[in-house]
Structure 1
Amino acid sequence: MPWSLSGTYLESCNCDVVCPCTTSGLTEPADHERCQVTFAFHVDSGNVDGVDVSGRSVAVFVDAPRVMAEGGWQVALYLDASADDGQAEALGRVFSGQAGGPMAALTPLIGEVLGVERVPIDYRDDGRRHAARVGDAIDVEIQDQVAPQFGEDGPVMTLTGIFHPANSTLTVARSTRATGAGVYGRSWDFAGGNAHSAPFTWSA
């Protein structure tokens, strides 16, 4: 059966602003030895095979080689604990790429699934600030960037024509808070690093 989702997304990684992975279609080396990135999605409206998944959130953590296009990604999937069993199963199929759609384009790059967990996910959009707290594992807040010449109320900077599952246009943003604790043996603080946000509309 066809499915569709729409909502908003945020991303935080350990690259400097702006990361080479995003601007090269994953073909240029990241700024550091590994590319570690968190994607968080909030579904404002969605239906998957007759299951209403509106209001639910999902997060994906990726630990990839410096050149992401080489594959061998290690991935963890976090599903909203407020989702019932049917919603969790539906979201899991979409965000793992099993149901087709944009995430399916990334599945050939995955070498290992670290785990799938159901945890509380607190996702917030507040103007040009976006935040997601994923259980006790990941805590991210990002700020969309504005060229200083335009002042605080100026237009946010964007990247367009990008190969990315969320959207081909992404804001240029910076992580104001980006910590991980015990994420399958990984902990970090990427505050000040690269970030993006965008609306997303998917269907298959």
Structure 2
Amino acid sequence: MPWNLNGTYLESCNCDAVCPCTTSGLTAPADHERCQVTLAFHVDDGNIDGVDVSDRSVAVFVDAPQVMADGGWQVALYVDASADDGQAEALGKVFSGQAGGPMAALAPLIGEVLGVERTPIDYRDEGRRHAVRIGDAIDIEIEDQVAPQYGDDGPVMGLTGMFHPASSTLTIARSTRATGNGVYGRTWDFTGGNGHSAPFTWSA
């Protein structure tokens, strides 16, 4: 099943910036008892086994042990409600890891699938600010960080050499808004916490 996707991603979690999970390849303890993270992806251009999935979004919520490498993750998958049945099925296979690619490397860490939902996903990139609203459940905005000495137009801080499904190069960001409401029994406000963003290019 050949496929390729190009787009952008954002992430928000309950760790303080910068997240020790990300910078340690998932082997260092998170800042809190559980690591709860949302990864949202917008596909600018993509084709999965002949199905055009351009301009569609997907999000993954993870509730993991403090050391993510220990596995036993609880995961929920959200697929853009604007996707038709064929697009939703194709995106589900890629973002669950069934079709290989970066997400397949994380599949052995998953202990429970909380659910798979089709819901409206509003994803926006606006310069250093990136935002996603996932139905009525999750609302996130992050801002890529710039050293104060450079001013608002300075270079964005980044991490390189990362073990991460989206990209090996990520921005350092903080959430200006990060709330969850009734996400499989979970409600939170992680505003001010860790964030990342990056373009992604995947294929298999």
Q: TM-score, normalised by structure 1?
A: 1.00
Equivalence for 1:44: 44
Q: Which residue type is aligned with residue 164 of structure 2?
A: H
Secondary structure at the aligned position of 2:21 is classed as helix
Equivalence for 1:61: 61
Distance 1:153 1:53 in 2: 33
Tell whether 2:166 aligns with 1:166.
yes
Distance 2:37 2:182 in 1: 15
Displacement after TM superposition at 1:149 (Å): 1.0
Displacement after TM superposition at 1:2 (Å): 1.0
Equivalence for 1:187: 187
Displacement after TM superposition at 1:179 (Å): 0.2
What residue ranges of structure 2 are gaps of 5+ in the alignment? Answer: none
Q: Which residue type is aligned with residue 150 of structure 1?
A: Y
How many equivalent pairs are there?
A: 204
Equivalence for 2:144: 144
Equivalence for 2:105: 105
Equivalence for 1:81: 81
Distance 1:167 1:19 in 2: 15
1:160-186 Cα distance to aligned partner (Å, 9 max, x none): 000000000000000000000000000
What residue ranges of structure 1 are gaps of 5+ in the alignment? Answer: none
Secondary structure at the aligned position of 2:103 is classed as helix
Distance 1:72 1:20 in 2: 18
Q: Which residue type is aligned with residue 147 of structure 1?
A: A
Equivalence for 2:203: 203
CA RMSD of aligned residues (A): 0.3
Tell whether 2:156 aligns with 1:175.
no
1:64-111 Cα distance to aligned partner (Å, 9 max, x none): 000000000000000000000000000000000000000000000000
Displacement after TM superposition at 1:145 (Å): 0.1
1:118-147 Cα distance to aligned partner (Å, 9 max, x none): 000000000000000000000000000001
Q: How does 1:15-34 map to 2 (within 5 A)?
A: 15-34=15-34
Q: Which residue type is aligned with residue 182 of structure 1?
A: G
Q: Which residue type is aligned with residue 70 of structure 2?
A: E
Tell whether 2:129 aligns with 1:129.
yes
Distance 2:152 2:122 in 1: 26
Displacement after TM superposition at 1:26 (Å): 0.2
Q: Which residue type is aligned with residue 55 of structure 1?
A: D
Distance 1:82 1:200 in 2: 21
Q: Which residue type is aligned with residue 187 of structure 1?
A: T
Tell whether 2:153 aligns with 1:156.
no
Q: Which residue type is aligned with residue 38 of structure 1?
A: T
4+ aligned runs moved over 3 Å, structure 1: none
Distance 1:149 1:160 in 2: 22
Displacement after TM superposition at 1:60 (Å): 0.3
